[in-house]
Each structure stands twice: as structure tokens, then as C-alpha cells.
């Protein structure tokens, strides 16, 4: 098992080194010519770019991101419970194990239903609200 | 626990000596440079050829027979292209972004069960490892898009972040039924259990493909495939790239080898997605209705490795073909439809599958459909 983790670490290291390696090979073998200054201009359909791209705008994603975090933590916590579920069934504790998983996931499911009813899952909610206020 | 040997261990046994970390490094190097990256490169050729066939064109046909060496020509071209960073870009993050994508896609190959004796790392948290590592692609796309200081990229990246993050949930929830069935997170063991019991005495050990374990698993496999398509930004979920509306989306400002690395990473991720589906639901390296361990003759290890590798590749590459096929079949979704489909469709459905599988396990005492039908030995 230990070897597995060492190998996984090597996978991370080698895949991490692949990118500098490829770019490095390119840097060595290609002709070093200074290109036109226009090339480094940000692409905006051929026109000179208007202003910066780093502006403030509605990402429409805030609540979904929060729901995601809650669900992701939930999934991470259900994984251990799911792993021992089979063993629990084999030892005759299937009902208890099922009830525990159901209670935990059911609570989060009701949370999802609440967000759904509240309209937090609507992508174009923001537009509709500003339209109503006017 | 699983008895699948690691690639590093196998090499150490064959060659004889050497500290294990050297073999671990070599196995990682071999799998990345002989499986992951060549697949990523070759897939660009196959994708173009498949596209050409669907559209009744010829496709790439100049470099080598049937244009088969096209990907090598592309690689040479990309490596020798001028490498520049656009004005006003955040240089550090711009350099970091392709690295994260390649790292996320290639490291996941560690836990893929290519064959029983040819696994990079049969971690006891293998499923979680793959889920965790492939998530690196999301910050890769978001950083790449934001750092290049381009409006098209920014829009693509924000779409990508919303999409990848949201579809992470149905992916994980569709993997959970398999964990319920197998009672382990070790990919090698999960695959091993999906064999066909040749003799009646071993029926308890093998429950055939997880796809046919119960009706809920059957649905969960399809949900995993759909959510996986969205995770890898493939059509019909290619909104972050969306070349007809956002130029090239998150990688508009990436050119030359940096663009090539993004493409490599994405195709490697498609392979990982299909391989995970194969390993978790489609029986991995097992030949349907055959069990190599229970034949009349004892096969040498080398033959078993080759047969299992071929089986795993056939299943995975067929799925990759389906992914390419879908590209020319379905139109792209709208952003609000995409998010609605995830949170109002896939998440509730995959939760139903999770509960359904749990109830099935409870009622039938953990036995699969095949075990119930052919209880007294399938063979």
C-alpha cells in the first residue's frame, strides 16, 4: 500500500514537470525572433481591446457555489459511511446503517428542495428581479 | 483486500533489485509518457478523422498512411511555435494554468486499473483520489481564463467554473452506489468483484458488472457518463469553450504548446472519465462471461496482463468513441439549461439511485441481479 502512495506522488511530480519540459524543449529548438508587438494584444475580434477584462460583473453563481460546497462536504462524509455499508448489512445492522445514511442525506436533500423553491437554482434570477423592481 | 500487484512491484520482481521508489518513479513515468500523453495526442487525430467520417469528408490524410502520423506533425508544429504571454496578463497564473490542467488529468492515471498486474497505484482510497485529482482541472481553467485578461476567456472561464463545480456533485453521487455495492474504495478490488463466477463455489465473490447489479446502478452509470461529459467540457456541455460564441473560450489567449497542453490535458481527462466508467460499472479488465482465474489451464501472467489490458482498452476506447460521436449528434446547451439540468435533474436523480441501491442491498442482502438469477454457480 505504501508503494501505491509513493507512486501516486511520483505521478503528481512527473505530470507537474511535463509542462516546463515541453515548453523548455520548444524554447530550445525554435528560432528566437522577436514577433510583432500586435501579437501580444488581447484578442477582441481584431479591434484594439476596450479597457480591461478585470471588471466587476454579476457572476450569478454565488448561491450555487455555496450549495456546491455543502454538497461536496456531504459527499465526502457519505463516502466512509458507504464504504462500511456492505459490512454493516453482512453483520445484520443493515437497517441502522440505512437509517443513518437516509437521515443525513435526507436533511441535505430537503435543503436542496428549499433552495429550489426559493429560486436560488435559477440562473437568470438576477435579471428577472431587477426587471420587477423597475 | 485486493491482491492486484502494482506496476512498480512487478518491475522490481522482474528485474530483481533496486529500491522501490525508483521503480515507482519509473512506473509513473512510463504510464504518463506511454499511455496518457500519447493517447491525448492520438485522440486529436482520431477526433478529426471521426468528425470527417460523420461529415462525409476525408479528414487528415497527408502525413503517413491515412494521415495517422498527423498528431506527430501537430506536436512538432506546436512545440516550435512562438511562445508569448499577452499584454496585461497575470504572468504567474497564466503559466500555472496549463500545468494544473495537465497535472489533474495525468495524475489520475495512477489509480486507473489498466490490468490486474499493471496498476500505477492501487490506493485504498483510489476512487476518492481520482475524484480529488481531476478537480485540479477546474482551477486550471478558471485561472487560465482570468489571467489572460481577455473578455472572451473570462466569460468562458466563469461558465467553466460554474459547470465543472456543479457537475462534480452528480459525478460523486453516481460513484457512491458502486461504493455501497463493493464496500471498498480500492479500484482494483472494485474491478475484481465484477467478474463472472465460473464455479458455483465462488458466486459470493463475483457479482458481475456493476452496471447490471441492480436497476438503480444501471441508471447511475448513465448519469455518471452524462455528468462526466460535462466535467470534461465535451459537447453538448462545451460552454466554457463554445467556439461559435466565445471564440475559443477559456483558452482564447493560449497559443502554441500552451494550447497544445490544454488540448492534451482535456483528452487525457476524457480518457480518465471513460476509464473510470469502465472500471466502476463495465467490469474493467474482465472478459464478459469468462473468468481467466478459473479456467482449466493456468495462464502465464504476461498473457493475462495483455488480455486484460486489451479488454480494458477496448471498453474505454469504445466509450471515447461514443463521446466523439455525441459531438456530432447533439447541439450545445444554454447556460441556464445546463445549470438547471444539473441541480434539478441529475442531482435528485442520482440521490434516488443512491437510496435505491441502498434499499436493494438491504432487501437482497447485498446480492446482485446475476447472483440472484444464477445463484448456484453461473457457469
Residues 167-226 of B with CB under 8 A from A: 168-169, 172-173, 176, 179-185
In a mutational test of the B interface, the residue from A2, A17, A36, A42 whose CB has the highest number of chain B CBs within 10 Å is A42
Which of A3-7, A70-74, B350-354 holds the top average pLDDT? B350-354
- List C-alpha distances in Å: B71 to B76, B203, B272: 9, 46, 20
Residue B309 in grid coordinates: 489490458
Predicted confidence at residue B200, as pLDDT, reads: 64
| Closest chain B residue to A98, measured at CA | B358
Residue B106 has its nearest CB partner, among A15, A42, A76, at A15
pLDDT at B71 over 50: yes
- Using the beta-carbon criterion (under 8 Å), do B120 and A22 form an inter-chain contact? no
| A127 pLDDT tier (thresholds 50, 70, 90) | low
Quote the CA–CA distance of A94 and A108 in Å, as a whole number.
Answer: 21
First to last CA, chain A: 63
pLDDT at B259 over 80: yes
Alpha-helix residue ranges (DSSP H) falling in chain B:
7-15, 20-31, 37-54, 70-80, 91-107, 126-134, 137-147, 151-182, 187-192, 215-231, 256-281, 301-327, 335-340, 347-363, 369-373
* pLDDT tens readout for residues B285-343: 888 877 776 667 777 777 888 888 888 889 999 999 999 899 888 888 888 888 888 88
pLDDT at B260 over 50: yes
Quote the CA–CA distance of A101 and B163 in Å, as a whole number.
Answer: 27
pLDDT at A3 over 60: yes
pLDDT at A17 over 60: yes
The model's pTM = 0.87
Predicted confidence at residue B366, as pLDDT, reads: 75
* pLDDT tens readout for residues B188-231: 888 888 887 776 666 677 788 888 888 898 999 999 999 999 88
Poorest-confidence range of B2-6, B197-201, B260-264, B275-279? B2-6
pLDDT at A28 over 80: yes
Predicted confidence at residue B31, as pLDDT, reads: 85
Predicted confidence at residue B1, as pLDDT, reads: 32
| B277 pLDDT tier (thresholds 50, 70, 90) | very high
Residue A14 has its nearest CB partner, among B32, B82, B87, at B32
Chain A contact set for B106 (CB, 8 A): 11, 14-15, 18
pLDDT at B41 over 60: yes
Residue B267 in grid coordinates: 483528452
- ipTM for the whole complex: 0.82
- Using the beta-carbon criterion (under 8 Å), do A42 and B150 form an inter-chain contact? yes
Cβ contacts from A onto B, under 8 A: 233
Residue B150 has its nearest CB partner, among A11, A53, A83, at A53
Amino acid at each position: 500500500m505504501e508503494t501505491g502512495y509513493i507512486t501516486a506522488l511520483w505521478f503528481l511530480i512527473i505530470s507537474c514537470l511535463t509542462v516546463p519540459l515541453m515548453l523548455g524543449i520548444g524554447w530550445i529548438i525554435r528560432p528566437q525572433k522577436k514577433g510583432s508587438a500586435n501579437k501580444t494584444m488581447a484578442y477582441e475580434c481584431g479591434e484594439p481591446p476596450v479597457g480591461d477584462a478585470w471588471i466587476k460583473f454579476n457572476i450569478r453563481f454565488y448561491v450555487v457555489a455555496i450549495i456546491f460546497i455543502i454538497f461536496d462536504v456531504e459527499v465526502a462524509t457519505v463516502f466512509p459511511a458507504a464504504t462500511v455499508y456492505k459490512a454493516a448489512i453482512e453483520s445484520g445492522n443493515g437497517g441502522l446503517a440505512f437509517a443513518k445514511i437516509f437521515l443525513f442525506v435526507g436533511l441535505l436533500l430537503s435543503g436542496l428542495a428549499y433552495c429550489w423553491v426559493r429560486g436560488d437554482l435559477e440562473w437568470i434570477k438576477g435579471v428577472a428581479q431587477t426587471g420587477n423592481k423597475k | 483486500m485486493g491482491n492486484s500487484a502494482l506496476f512498480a512491484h512487478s518491475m522490481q520482481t522482474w528485474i530483481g533489485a533496486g529500491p522501490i521508489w525508483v521503480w515507482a518513479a519509473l512506473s509513473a513515468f512510463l504510464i504518463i509518457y506511454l499511455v496518457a500523453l500519447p493517447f491525448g495526442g492520438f485522440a486529436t487525430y482520431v477526433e478529426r478523422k471521426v468528425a470527417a467520417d460523420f461529415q462525409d469528408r476525408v479528414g487528415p490524410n497527408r502525413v503517413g498512411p491515412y494521415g495517422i502520423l498527423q498528431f506527430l506533425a501537430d506536436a512538432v508544429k506546436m512545440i516550435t511555435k512562438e511562445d508569448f504571454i499577452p499584454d496585461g496578463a497575470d504572468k504567474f497564473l497564466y503559466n500555472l494554468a496549463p500545468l494544473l490542467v495537465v497535472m489533474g488529468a495525468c495524475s489520475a492515471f495512477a489509480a486507473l486499473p489498466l490490468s490486474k498486474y499493471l496498476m500505477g497505484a492501487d490506493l485504498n482510497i483510489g476512487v476518492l483520489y481520482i475524484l480529488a485529482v481531476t478537480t485540479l482541472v477546474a482551477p486550471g481553467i478558471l485561472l487560465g481564463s482570468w489571467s489572460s485578461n481577455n473578455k472572451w476567456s473570462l466569460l468562458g472561464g466563469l461558465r467553466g467554473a460554474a459547470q465543472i463545480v456543479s457537475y462534480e456533485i452528480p459525478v460523486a453521487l453516481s460513484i457512491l452506489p458502486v461504493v455501497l455495492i463493493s464496500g471498498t474504495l480500492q479500484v482494483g478490488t472494485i474491478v475484481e468483484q465484477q467478474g463472472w463466477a465460473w464455479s458455483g463455489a465462488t458466486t459470493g465473490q463475483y457479482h458481475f458488472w456493476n452496471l447490471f447489479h441492480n436497476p438503480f446502478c444501471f441508471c447511475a452509470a448513465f448519469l455518471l457518463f452524462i455528468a462526466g461529459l460535462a466535467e470534461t467540457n465535451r459537447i453538448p456541455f462545451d460552454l466554457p469553450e463554445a467556439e461559435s460564441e466565445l471564440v475559443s473560450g477559456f483558452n482564447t489567449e493560449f497559443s502554441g504548446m500552451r494550447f497544445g497542453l490544454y488540448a492534451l490535458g482535456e483528452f487525457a481527462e476524457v480518457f480518465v472519465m471513460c476509464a473510470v466508467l469502465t472500471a466502476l460499472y463495465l467490469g474493467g479488465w474482465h472478459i464478459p462471461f469468462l473468468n481467466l482465474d478459473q479456467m482449466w489451464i493456468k495462464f502465464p501472467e504476461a498473457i493475462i496482463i495483455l488480455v486484460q489490458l486489451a479488454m480494458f482498452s477496448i471498453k474505454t476506447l469504445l466509450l471515447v468513441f461514443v463521446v466523439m460521436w455525441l459531438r456530432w449528434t447533439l447541439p450545445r446547451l444554454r447556460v441556464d439549461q445546463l445549470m438547471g439540468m444539473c441541480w434539478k435533474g441529475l442531482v435528485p436523480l442520482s440521490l434516488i439511485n443512491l437510496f435505491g441501491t441502498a434499499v436493494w442491498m438491504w432487501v437482497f442482502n447485498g446480492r446482485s441481479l446475476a447472483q440472484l438469477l444464477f445463484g448456484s454457480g453461473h457457469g
